[in-house]
Amino acid sequence: MRLALVHDHLNQIGGAERVLLTLTDIFPDAPIHTLLYDPHQIADFFHDRKIETSFLSQLPGGRRYFKWFLPLMPTAFESFDLSKYDVILSSSSALSKGVITHPHQLHVCYCHTPTRYLWSDTHEYLEKLPERRRVRLVLPMLLSRLRMWDYQAAQRVDRFVANSRWVAGRIKKYYGRDADVIYPPVTTGYFRVGDGRGGYYVITSRLRPYKKVDLAIEACNRLKLPLVVIGKGEDEARLRSLAGPTITFKGYATEAEKRELLADAVAFIHPQEEDFGITAVEAMAAGRPVIAFRRGGACETVVDGVTGVFFDEQSWEGLADAILRFRMARNQFDPAAIRKHAEQFDVQVFRDQMTQYVQRNWEAFHDDSRRALQPMRITTQETGSIIPG
C-alpha cells in the first residue's frame, strides 16, 4: 500500500502539525504534500521527511504573505499529482481535502475542523478585515465562491475521520458527511505528574483573539491570582497591556519547560472553544485539573468534578466564578486519577487506531473496486437476475 500525506501548510506548530508528525511516524515512507513549508517556523520537526510544496511557495512573498494568495489555494492543491499512490491521507483544517484523486485511490481525510473562515467563523473573520473598501467589497464574494468549492471538495473524500464528536457534528452540518472519531495523540508518558506546588495557574496557547486568553488575564487580575501565560502570537501586545502584576508572560517555551510549568501549576485554564484541545489533555497528563469553557472538545476530555470544572458563560466573570468554585473543592482532585483519565488519549492509542482504520478501509475499498471491475453476464429471462462473470 503506497500512501501519501497532504497537509494545509507547514509554517507553524500547532495541534494539527503535531497530529501530522505522528502520522509521519506511522507512515514513515509517506511524502508530505503541502502549500508551503517554512523551516524557520517549523524548526526541525519535519527536517527528515520528504516534503513536496505547491507552486505558491515559489511565488514572491508566498511564504510571508501566503494569506493573500487565498484565491489560488484550491488550484494549488488540485495541482498535486498523486496518481502513483494507493491511499491519500489528508490532514485538513482548511483546503487540503480538495486534492484530486483517481477512482482507484482511497482518500481518507483526518479533519481537525471544517474550514473555519468559510463556515463557523465567517462573520467574525469578516469583522476583523482591514479598513480597506476594496477588500471589504471583494472578500465576501470570494469566500462565497470558496465555500462552494470547499463543499464540493468534501464530497470527493471517501472517508472522514473527525478529531472529536464535536467536529463530527460540524462535518455533518456543513458537508453532509458522516465521520468516524479518532482522538488526536498526546504523549501522556512524557509528562510528570505534579502537585501544583508552584501556586500559579497556567494557560498555554497561541496568542490570538479567538483563543480568549484575555478572559484568563482579566479573571486573574480581578482575583489577584498568579497566572503564567505560555505562547506567542499577534495578540501579545494587547494582552500585555491588559495584564496586572500577577500575570507573567513566558513567551515560547520548549517542550521540557512546558512540561515543568504544567506539573507545578495549580490548574490549567482553558477559556476557548477548541475542536479537541490537546493542551488541556497534556495538563491532565501532568495530573493537573482543567478549568474549561463548556463547549467543543473539552466536553469530551474533561470530567466535571473529577478532572476539572466547567463554566458556561464565556466571560471573565464566568471564568472567575469557576476558579472560585475550583478553589473551594481543590482537595477533591486526585492527580493520579486525572493522569489515568488522560491516558485514553495517549499517542499509542492513536497510532493503533489510525493504522487499523487505514488498513481496514483500504482492504474494503480495494475489494469493492475489484468486484466493480468483474465482467457481468446478460440477465436471464427466467429470473431477470444479474449474474457476475
The enclosing domain of 24 has a CATH number of 3.40.50
Q: Closest by alpha carbon to 135, among 91, 73, 190, 71?
A: 71
Same domain, 327 and 360: no
In a domain, 20, yes or no: yes
Same domain, 175 and 35: yes
Residue found by looking up cell 487540503 in the block: 96
Kindly give the confidence (pLDDT) of every residue in the chain, 389 residues in length, as a single tens digit, with 9 standing for 90 and above: 999 999 999 988 888 999 999 999 999 999 999 999 988 888 778 888 899 999 998 888 777 778 888 999 999 999 999 999 999 999 999 999 999 999 999 999 999 999 999 998 888 877 766 655 666 678 888 999 999 999 999 999 999 999 999 999 999 999 999 999 999 999 999 999 999 999 999 999 989 888 999 999 999 999 999 999 999 999 999 999 999 999 999 998 999 999 999 999 999 999 999 999 999 999 999 999 999 999 999 999 999 999 999 999 999 999 999 999 999 999 999 999 999 999 999 999 999 999 999 999 999 998 776 666 566 554 444 444 433 44
Same domain, 194 and 154: no
Same domain, 273 and 315: yes
What share of residues in the chain are helix, strand, coil (percent, to 5)?
45, 15, 40
Q: Specify the DSSP class assigned to residue 28.
A: T
Same domain, 159 and 216: no
Domain count, the chain: 2
Residue 153's domain spans which residues?
A: 3-185+347-372
Contact 120, 112 (CB under 8 A): no
In a domain, 99, yes or no: yes
Same domain, 103 and 21: yes
Residue found by looking up cell 491511499 in the block: 87
In a domain, 378, yes or no: no
Q: What is the CATH number of the domain that holds 221?
A: 3.40.50.2000
In a domain, 367, yes or no: yes
Angle among Cα 208, 211, 215 to the nearest 5 degrees reads 110
Can you tell me the distance from the alpha carbon of 95 to that of 115, in angstroms, rounded to the nearest whole number? 7
- Residue 218 pairs with which residues in a beta bridge? none
Same domain, 73 and 221: no
Q: Specify the DSSP class assigned to residue 72.
A: G
Same domain, 41 and 119: yes
Same domain, 197 and 303: yes
In a domain, 383, yes or no: no
